[in-house]
Amino acid sequence: MNAPDALHRSLQIPAAGVVLEADLGVPRESPRGAVLFAHGSGSGRHSSRNRYVADQLNRAGLITVLADLLTRDEERVDLRTAALRFDIDLLGGRVTALADWAAHSDPTAGLGVGLFGASTGAAAALIAAANRPDVVQAVVSRGGRPDLADAHLPRVHQPTLLIVGERDPVVVELNRKAMQQLGGETRLTIVPDATHLFEERGALEQVAALARDWFLGHLRPVAHGTEET
């Protein structure tokens, strides 16, 4: 039996006054960067789609961190009200705190940090990118709602890849409009015949490959220290 491509463990991450449950995937080979996942409305670290993408990123040598953006108590409230999953400022603050944790904690400290956001999580990822230009190096959105990041978009100067399904026309148009506001390198890739959840044969594989190539192309190690020599 072949050994797994990554070592996995669960951890708790302090973030913006709460503690978030997270799953860490660390490739066996020397890591080439770290990717934090921002899940969409009503989703979390157990999302089968995001876990598939994370597995593919691990195979490519990238550390992955899949964290629930809501605490267990908050999730119970959200199940009744569906209010917190659309609190983009709250979620953006949580992803910002996760980026801070990644910049200063093992095993991600010293690595380039990327953000992978799905659905409303894409807006949270973009807010975090705007808030932490010195930490976040690249962003990928899957079927995202970047428009919900609104006034933060012009402050996002990191390379941003927007992936949308061809059969998700409303979200395609929202992404086209958001592209015009983003402040840095931006690419919109439309996956043929795919719907919002990329459930069609081969669609999610395309998403994973696109994300992998984007992060590998843009994540770089972080230089230690600020002293000049």
223 pLDDT band, cuts 50/70/90, is confident
Counted domains in the chain: 1
The yes-or-no verdict on residue 121 having pLDDT over 50 is yes
pLDDT over 90 percentage in the chain: 79
* Distance (Å, whole) CA 110 – CA 30: 12
In this prediction, residue 224 carries a pLDDT of: 60
Q: What is the mean pLDDT of the chain?
A: 92
Per-residue pLDDT tens over the stretch 70-95: 998 988 888 888 888 889 999 999 99
Q: Looking at residue 198, which CATH number applies to its domain?
A: 3.40.50.1820
The yes-or-no verdict on residue 141 having pLDDT over 90 is yes
Could you tell me if residue 224 is inside a domain? no
Could you tell me if residue 162 is inside a domain? yes
Kindly report the three-state secondary structure assignment for every residue of the chain: CCCCCEEEEEEEEEECCEEEEEEEEEECCCCCCEEEEECCCCCCCCCHHHHHHHHHHHHCCCEEEEECCCCHHHHHHHHHHCCHHHCHHHHHHHHHHHHHHHHHCCCCCCCCEEEEEECHHHHHHHHHHHHCCCCEEEEEEECCCHHHHHHHHHHCCCCEEEEEECCCHHHHHHHHHHHCCCCCCEEEEEECCCCCCCCCCCHHHHHHHHHHHHHHHHCCCCCCCCCCC
Sheet of 34-38: strands edge to edge? 6-15, 18-27, 63-67, 34-38, 113-118, 136-142, 160-165, 186-191
In this prediction, residue 228 carries a pLDDT of: 37
* Distance (Å, whole) CA 208 – CA 52: 8
* Distance (Å, whole) CA 149 – CA 53: 23
Could you tell me if residue 1 is inside a domain? no
227 pLDDT band, cuts 50/70/90, is very low
Lowest mean pLDDT among 48-52, 64-68, 128-132: 48-52
Per-residue pLDDT tens over the stretch 167-213: 999 999 999 999 999 999 999 999 999 999 999 999 999 999 999 99
Could you tell me if residue 190 is inside a domain? yes
> If you search the block for the tokens 């997270």, which residue do you land on?
22
Could you tell me if residue 228 is inside a domain? no
pTM reported for the whole predicted model: 0.93
* Distance (Å, whole) CA 160 – CA 94: 20
Per-residue pLDDT tens over the stretch 2-31: 556 789 999 999 998 999 999 999 999 899
Could you tell me if residue 227 is inside a domain? no
Could you tell me if residue 226 is inside a domain? no
For residue 124, give its domain range.
Answer: 6-218
Could you tell me if residue 225 is inside a domain? no
